[in-house]
Copies of this chain bind each other. A is one copy, B any other.
């Protein structure tokens, strides 16, 4: 059983021990942001806040955690004793899940006693990074195949169980219809979809028998996998079966194609089905899909009603990580900034302001100090105060609707799959001045 408190890097605990020895626990401000977008992303979608809030609410060191830490010989009894009562008592501000954002814009701010804000660093990044990564990848499939059924097929090649569950959530937030992962359906209330595997066809004496048995076992709901041996021959078997089952009042819902030239097979299968008056049988495609293959299939008007998208989406295969960071921006009221080569950050508490045109289109953003006045819409909003939720978080359905509205408001060039010249994020003069001032003092 994994402990939320020990899901952290050792250095967080060694720093906490030093802070404890120094009796240093002032108010610290950390912000989470992405330094630069991957070349293949024109925008990002914030996701993972609900799991961060859950982590902060559940954070505590259990007796087992403390005795294991004691057994390492690295920590003093007095320090470990101080961990027993540690709870998250801080404030959280964040962009709502599903918000569009760009480089250098904080999507989460934690203001808390130093020990709490520091301890949670590793897991807060871990949760926000992965869901943001997947939502920002999955939304591209939704943009490439508008109106199509999109199902997350990625459990098997996701990086572990949590990745499978969280990518089902993040992809649904970003516009996927549902997931094949049963536990994700239960945990998050996401619609669950399923067809059949090649093994089902193979264990039967022949393909026609397999189709018939499956269709009877799932009356009106069966999606038959037709590429195990010969796709078009299987489609003709489906026609023959549909005729026989019609007499028994059973219909077949769809077929799935998982290999070969999906567009070409779909066209031939559609013709076979339509010629037999089976226009109601849908065609579902899967197999190494990503947004580029979806765009191509849609462009060539392949008669495919839905897509199973797995591995490349769940692993964000063309950009499997984001250059994100959770950085100290202020301590006890004094602004801070890291100046390391290539990794400098903007100091202080910040707010992101978005200018929106009269037709609702996003025009540009401005990064300002939180206490500067701004115009447009302020994107970071209060989530927790003193360790308690300010209000219930939006439902996943509400966040999904928010994401859809956000993406619809983007300039069209940013919604396209190809690289574009980007989106303007202005840095306020006051923020630039503060950065210069902080540099002088260190």
Chain A residues engaging chain B, CB cutoff 8 angstroms: 2-3, 6-15, 17-18, 21-22, 24, 26, 28, 30, 68-69, 72, 74, 114, 118, 121-123, 125-127, 129-130, 133, 153, 155-167, 180-183, 185-187, 192-200, 202-203, 206-207, 213-214, 216-218, 221, 227-229, 258-260, 311-312, 314-317, 320-322, 324, 326-328, 331, 336-343, 442
The complex places the Cα of A322 from the Cα of B159 at a distance, in Å, of: 11
How many copies the complex holds: the figure is: 2
Extra A-B contacts (16), CB below 8 Å, given A9-B181, A122-B156, A130-B160: A7-B181, A7-B183, A15-B199, A123-B155, A126-B157, A126-B158, A159-B167, A198-B340, A199-B327, A228-B340, A258-B340, A260-B341, A315-B320, A316-B320, A317-B320, A317-B321
Residue pair A7, B161 in contact (C-beta under 8 Å): yes
Q: List 3 tightest A-B contacts by C-beta distance, closest first.
A: A10-B194, A160-B162, A18-B217
Chain B: minimal CB distance from A184 (Å): 9
> Which residue of B26, B160, B186, B260 is within 8 Å of A166 (Cβ)?
B160
Residue pair B340, A227 in contact (C-beta under 8 Å): yes
Residue pair B260, A15 in contact (C-beta under 8 Å): no
Chain B: minimal CB distance from A342 (Å): 6
Residue pair A159, B156 in contact (C-beta under 8 Å): no
Residue pair B6, A217 in contact (C-beta under 8 Å): no
The interface residues of chain B lying within 8 Å CB-to-CB of A122 are 155-156, 181
Given known A-B contacts A22-B213, A259-B341, A161 and B126 have beta carbons under 8 A apart: yes
Nearest B residue to A203, CB-CB: B331
The interface residues of chain B lying within 8 Å CB-to-CB of A164 are 7, 126
Given known A-B contacts A159-B160, A161-B123, A180-B10, A328 and B202 have beta carbons under 8 A apart: yes
Given known A-B contacts A24-B203, A157-B129, A186 and B18 have beta carbons under 8 A apart: no
The interface residues of chain B lying within 8 Å CB-to-CB of A258 are 340
Nearest B residue to A214, CB-CB: B18
The complex places the Cα of A263 from the Cα of B342 at a distance, in Å, of: 16
Residue pair A7, B259 in contact (C-beta under 8 Å): no
Residue pair A68, B181 in contact (C-beta under 8 Å): no
> Which residue of B12, B133, B327 is within 8 Å of A198 (Cβ)?
B327
The interface residues of chain B lying within 8 Å CB-to-CB of A14 are 194-196, 217-218
Residue pair A161, B158 in contact (C-beta under 8 Å): no
Nearest B residue to A438, CB-CB: B202
The interface residues of chain B lying within 8 Å CB-to-CB of A195 are 11, 14
The interface residues of chain B lying within 8 Å CB-to-CB of A340 are 198, 227-228, 258-260
The complex places the Cα of A186 from the Cα of B192 at a distance, in Å, of: 35
> Which residue of B121, B123, B197 is within 8 Å of A121 (Cβ)?
B197
Given known A-B contacts A2-B183, A180-B9, A203 and B130 have beta carbons under 8 A apart: no
The complex places the Cα of A34 from the Cα of B162 at a distance, in Å, of: 23
The complex places the Cα of A161 from the Cα of B8 at a distance, in Å, of: 10
The interface residues of chain B lying within 8 Å CB-to-CB of A153 are 9
Can you name 25 A-B residue pairings with CB atoms under 8 Å?
A2-B165, A6-B183, A7-B181, A8-B182, A14-B194, A15-B197, A18-B200, A28-B203, A69-B182, A74-B221, A121-B156, A156-B326, A159-B159, A160-B162, A198-B340, A202-B328, A202-B338, A203-B328, A203-B336, A227-B341, A228-B338, A228-B339, A229-B442, A259-B343, A260-B342
The interface residues of chain B lying within 8 Å CB-to-CB of A341 are 227, 259-260
The interface residues of chain B lying within 8 Å CB-to-CB of A9 are 153, 155-156, 180-182, 194
The interface residues of chain B lying within 8 Å CB-to-CB of A326 are 156
Given known A-B contacts A122-B155, A156-B126, A2 and B198 have beta carbons under 8 A apart: no
Given known A-B contacts A11-B197, A18-B213, A125 and B259 have beta carbons under 8 A apart: no
Nearest B residue to A157, CB-CB: B321
* Residue among A130, A185, A217 facing the most chain B CB atoms (10 A cut-off): A217
